[in-house]
Chain A
């Protein structure tokens, strides 16, 4: 069979089974295996499948993932999001714009202890969307804003996408975390700007905020719990930034501190711990199956030498790194729209790595940008898990929620990515100054 025909079959398999709703990991396994079978015959599979499946899961860098998931799970189960929300709400004083800003800031704080955007979006939608509506925002805008705030969990470090990028490229994950801090904060500022520009009011609302009947009293301990969360954030980032501990150790210590703190505050019991452990393990296992599937797919890519042909094709772009990065970012934005974010990073990075190296592009800078771009896919149709989670939590049609959410994502893509390309120091300055 000619190589072009094989590539067509493989691309067809990938597209058809992905669109028809097969699990992403299975699509990757199937595509990789069919590709290798057609390209080289069955003999090489003996040397690929068994060892790749076990040893891909036997990777210290990736073992960091469940630790960060565990920390976030414990905090969610300990009710800290609710407390954070109450404090923010109180500080905003029930006025429309400040309450919107507070929602975004809470999303950012939550993001600093959580690596995944869907869970955060769901809890924020439950807690803050009704209040945002009450002060005058339209329903879909209120839910959309919660989705945006929740998606910050993937934008502000720690971020699971970044851990996976670091694990497959050997760029130090600690440096990536620190590098993501600049764009993450800039993104929050952009969102606050968007809040003012894109705001949608409830029909019939005259723009003056409602006064709530009676501002609820801050429950005892809400402030303490919020301070605990901020302290935890400082432990994790302070540890990484000062060089005392590695990223993996920071995840373990963060989870452990959360466990001890919440137990002392009597906010979680054995049952919560058990559930948090099991859920973190399950989500990690799900992600790891995608990582393993992508590894098999990457083996097919290597046999086919497609990345090299692509490098030859991209030769004219190599001399224009700016244009090259712009093209790659557009590709990532589109891929992030349809695919699970772990799958995007796992599929695209092995293909473009040779091109990046040929063009002398800083892999730390690129990793931060790529992870940021993919995270925006949480907000865009057709698949945007933050938007889905927020819409589901409020039982609202997701198509409506996508409208405001996409506006925010596009603004962030243009402004943050643009600024980071023009001023790479936004990413590189901090990591250069860590010990």
Chain B
């Protein structure tokens, strides 16, 4: 019998915990008939947001559920690719694309696949949890009518990619963690944020966000279910196979639940007077600015990632292909840009 210390830096109400970590642990315990069990820790009891890799490598925990890749500053340089803007994508399609990215045998650089580059050297084994639903641009009490309205507007950025996107929009990106955004939004320190609607509930943002632009995804955040190599070797061949299969299935289930929550929160917000405007219904100059910013975000991410010595272009191309295979689309101009590099 193997008992593993499983920890999340997020509380149980978060969809990556209540709708992934617990489902996964329950399923594993059931499928191995208790041969593999978990002692579960929540809400940062054992490890904090962005410190999960330290905790895994240092042996403080066996399993991180999830390992929040976007908060590990600079540690997963290619994983941010899921945060690039897309069109018509949802949690399920992007989760499948992310799984395909992890499975891909396309060599990005020096014969290394995405998995080799991001995961293998870190003394962990990892599988995608569901990606979030589409990140949308939301505002608190203001309705931008034109590109000029966005000029200099302080908007909250949750990651390096958001910062790029917002500055390309002409807005003023203010970076802060999601947990600080309720206070900042309700007191006007920032006038809007980029976040998935499903995520609003974790931070009570449905009370403050009144106007949201949909139809373009400012990416989908991805994260991993990760186990340390040391713990992995304690599992039998069969248990590992069960683990891999379970991780794959629960990620998809997680995606379905996240997408359902996205719809649910959106309907709730509408019922309370919230407005959701599709990109196609916006004033032409505003729409053009958002589209231009989306393409520029791809471009700047590739350039910055390459400048830091990582295969940004090859990753972006692979991701673009996988997104389309799952029925998603890319902002106008992205394909031209990616093709221009050949």
**Which residues of A are at the interface with B, using a C-beta cutoff of 8 A?**
43-48, 50-51, 55, 60, 170, 172, 174-175, 243-246, 249, 299, 302-303, 434-435
Contact = CB atoms under 8 A, between A and B. Distances in A.
B251 interface: no
Among A51, A175, A434, max chain B CB count under 10 A is at A51
A7 B187 CA distance: 45
Given A174-B187, A243-B188, A47 B45 contact: no
B179 A44 contact: no
B127 interface: no
A302 B45 contact: yes
B55 A47 contact: yes
Contacts of A302: 41, 45-46
A246 B184 CA distance: 7
A314 B260 CA distance: 36
Among A45, A175, A303, max chain B CB count under 10 A is at A303
B25 interface: no
Contacts of A175: 183
19 contacts: A44-B60, A44-B61, A45-B58, A46-B58, A47-B58, A47-B61, A48-B58, A48-B60, A50-B58, A51-B51, A51-B54, A55-B48, A170-B179, A244-B188, A246-B183, A246-B184, A246-B187, A299-B46, A434-B187
B187 A435 contact: yes
A47 B54 contact: yes
Contacts of B59: 43-44, 46-47
B161 interface: no
A174 B180 CA distance: 11
Interface string B148-189: 000000000000000000000000000010011011101111
A243 B58 contact: no
Interface of B: 41, 45-48, 51, 54-61, 176, 179-180, 182-184, 186-189
A44 B47 CA distance: 11
A246 B41 CA distance: 32
Given A46-B58, A47-B47, A51-B54, 4 more contacts: A172-B182, A175-B183, A243-B187, A302-B46
Nearest to A299: B46
Contacts of B51: 51, 55
Contacts of A170: 179
B85 to A, nearest CB: 28
Instruction: Across the A-B interface, give the 9 residue pairs with the lowest CB-CB distance, nearest first.
Output: A47-B58, A47-B60, A243-B187, A46-B58, A302-B45, A172-B183, A43-B59, A44-B60, A47-B55
Contacts of A44: 58-61
Contacts of B46: 299, 302-303
Nearest to B230: A43
A50 B187 CA distance: 36
B189 A246 contact: yes
A172 B48 CA distance: 19
B40 to A, nearest CB: 10
A140 to B, nearest CB: 44
Nearest to B177: A60
Contacts of A60: 176, 180
A243 B186 contact: yes
Nearest to A247: B183
B91 to A, nearest CB: 26
B18 to A, nearest CB: 14
B120 to A, nearest CB: 20
Contacts of A50: 54, 58
A47 to B, nearest CB: 2
A434 B186 CA distance: 9
A279 B46 CA distance: 34
A95 to B, nearest CB: 44
Nearest to B176: A60
Contacts of B184: 246
A435 B182 contact: no
Nearest to A48: B60
Nearest to B46: A302
